């Protein structure tokens, strides 16, 4: 049983409402004993309601596996990177430190690294992952590339990320707005004045190859 190649996972942070349905649903999986493998991050609640769900990005060359001294982390042929194997994992935490997305965690009671495995028990039998099924704003979406193109014409998926000198390609894609992204900082007072303030800052986007559209304001933005 493998996850079909044409079914992909997309994360659209602009759609996240911070409700934690994904986090709560993730704890329902029998395999992780009441823990959520999703982190829901508030960017900065003091100045925005923007939140971002963080799932495992399932890297083509997973850093977590590369740094694992016990060879406990495996990527299956369908591109899914799994939690550490219990007999091998020494709970050293190398993966936790190395993962550029901050995904893996050590669970001391089990002496084990566990992370999002794209609900392998569901996706390998043709179902959607639990989080993407319940997400009420579909910030987490699971389906085909054709579906996402039809449903999200204002965004485009990207799966290449630059961290210093390291370029990472992932099985999971992030949807990046084609036009001006929503401001990361919002303030009611800006909407109360007759002369609205300009957006104070913008999200930086990494992959200029994917977003080559000349009209795209991000095209020239430095990382």
Partner 1 sequence: MAELPVDPLKIIHAFGPHLSEGTRPSRGEPDKLVKTHCCFCGQQCGIQLKVKDNEVVGFEPWEEFPFNRGMLCPKGVKRYLQGSHPDRLLGAIERDPSAPGGFRKVAYDAAIARVASEIDRIQRAHGHGAIGVLGGASLTTEKTYLLGKFARVCLKTPFIDYNGRLCMVSAGAANKKAFGIDRTTSPWADMVGTEVIWVAGSNVAECSPITTNYIWQARELGAKVIVQDPRITPLARTCDLYLPVRPGRDAALFAGVLGVMIEKGWIDRDFIERHTVGFEQVAEYCRAWTPERSSEVSGVPVRAIHQAAELWGTAKTSFLFHARGIEHHSNGVQNSLATINLVLASGRIGKPKCGYGTIVGQANGQGGREHGQKCDQLPGWRDISNPEHRKYIASVWKIEEPDLPGPGVDAYELFRKIERGEIKGLISICFNPKVSLPDNEFITRALNKLEFYTAIDFFLNETAQHADVVLPGSLQEEDEGTVTQVEGRVIKINQAVDPPGDARRDWVIIQDIAQKLGRPHGFTFESPRAIFEELRIASKGGVADYSGITYEKIEQQMGVFWPCYSADPRTGEPLTDHPGTPRLFEPDSYNPVAKGSGPFYFPDGKARFNVAEYRAAIDDASEEYPLFLTTGRVVSQFLSGTQTRRIGPLVKQYPEPRIELHPRLAEKLGITDGAWATCETRRGEITLRAMVVTTIRPDTLFIPYHWSGPKSVNRLTVAAQDPISKIPQYKVCGCRLRPAVAAPEYARVLEAQQ
Under the binding rule (CB under 8 A), the answer on residue 48 touching partner 1 is yes
Token reading at 206: 């990494």
Helix (H, G, I), strand (E, B) or coil at 50: coil
| Residues 108, 73 contacting (CB under 8 angstroms) | no
What single-letter DSSP state applies at residue 31?
Answer: G
Residue whose CB is less far from partner 1, 50 or 158: 50
Under the binding rule (CB under 8 A), the answer on residue 87 touching partner 1 is no
Q: Which of 76, 110, 124, 133 binds partner 1 (CB under 8 A)?
A: 133
Under the binding rule (CB under 8 A), the answer on residue 136 touching partner 1 is yes
Residue whose CB is less far from partner 1, 10 or 101: 10
Q: Of 43, 164, 14, 146, nearest to 100 (Cα)?
A: 164
Residue whose CB is less far from partner 1, 61 or 187: 187
Q: Of 38, 49, 28, nearest to 140 (Cα)?
A: 38
Residue window 193-212: x/- pattern of binding to partner 1, with contact defined by CB under 8 A: xx-x----------------
Q: Distance between CA atoms of 210 and 127, rounded to whole angstroms?
A: 29
Q: Distance between CA atoms of 93 and 24, rounded to whole angstroms?
A: 25
Task: Outline where DSSP puts E strands in the chain.
Answer: 8-11, 39-42, 51-54, 105-107, 112-114, 140-143, 155-163, 166-177
Residue whose CB is less far from partner 1, 4 or 93: 4
Q: Which of 1, 6, 30, 108 binds partner 1 (CB under 8 A)?
A: 30
Q: Which of 1, 87, 108, 154 binds partner 1 (CB under 8 A)?
A: 154
Point out which residues pair with 143 in neighbouring strands: 8
Q: Which of 54, 96, 98, 151 binds partner 1 (CB under 8 A)?
A: 151
| Residues 172, 56 contacting (CB under 8 angstroms) | yes
Query: By CB under 8 A, which span of 49-57, 62-70, 77-85, 163-171 interacts with partner 1?
Result: 49-57
Query: Which residues are near partner 1 by CB under 8 A?
Result: 14-21, 23-25, 27-28, 30, 34, 45-51, 128, 130, 133-138, 151-154, 182, 185-189, 191-194, 196
């Amino acid at each position: 049983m493998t996850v079909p190649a044409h079914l992909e996972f997309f994360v659209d942070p602009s759609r996240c409402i911070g409700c934690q349905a994904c986090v709560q649903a993730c704890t329902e999986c029998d395999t992780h004993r009441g823990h959520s493998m999703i982190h829901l991050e508030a960017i900065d609640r003091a100045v925005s309601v923007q939140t971002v769900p963080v799932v495992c990005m399932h890297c083509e060359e997973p850093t977590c596996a590369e740094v694992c001294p016990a060879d406990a982390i495996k990527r299956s042929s369908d591109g899914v990177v799994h939690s550490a194997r219990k007999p091998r994992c020494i709970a050293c935490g190398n993966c936790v430190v190395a993962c550029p997305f901050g995904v893996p965690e050590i669970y001391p009671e089990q002496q084990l690294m566990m992370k999002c495995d794209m609900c392998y028990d569901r996706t390998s039998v043709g179902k959607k992952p639990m989080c993407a099924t319940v997400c009420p704003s579909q910030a987490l979406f699971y389906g085909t590339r054709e579906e996402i193109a039809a449903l999200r014409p204002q965004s485009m998926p990207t799966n290449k990320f630059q961290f210093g000198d390291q370029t990472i390609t992932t099985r999971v894609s992030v949807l990046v707005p084609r036009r001006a992204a929503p401001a990361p900082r919002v303030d009611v007072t800006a909407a109360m004045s007759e002369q609205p303030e300009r957006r104070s800052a913008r999200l930086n986007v990494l992959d200029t190859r994917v977003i080559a559209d000349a009209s795209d304001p991000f095209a020239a933005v430095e990382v």
